[in-house]
Amino acid sequence: MENLPVALVMGIGTIAPALAIGWLAGKGLEAIGRNPEASNKIQTAMILAIAFAEAIAIYALVVALILKFV
């Protein structure tokens, strides 16, 4: 029962960023398909946004590890 909070943190903390990354990549590729000339600017912004979304998953991992070992 003591592992339930850890499982919840990791479950929610990884599903939400995964959905955000998929949505960001899909919209970025859609934008590149509509305007190929702006692909460099779109790709840079898309990769930066994906990195921020991935950071949320890393924060969830840190919180889960704190809950597990403290």
Whole-model pTM: value is: 0.81
For residue 42, being part of any structural domain is answered with yes
Q: In which element (H, E) is residue 62 found?
A: helix 39-69
The domain that holds 17 is classified in CATH as 1.20.20.10
For residue 51, being part of any structural domain is answered with yes
Give CA torsion, residues 9, 10, 15, 20, to 10 deg: 80
The confidence score (pLDDT) of residue 59 equals: 94
What is the number of structural domains in the chain?
1
pLDDT at 1 over 80: no
Is 13 in contact with 56 (CB distance < 8 Å)?
yes
pLDDT digits (tens, 9 = 90+) for 14-70: 999 999 999 999 999 999 999 999 999 999 999 999 999 999 999 999 999 998 898
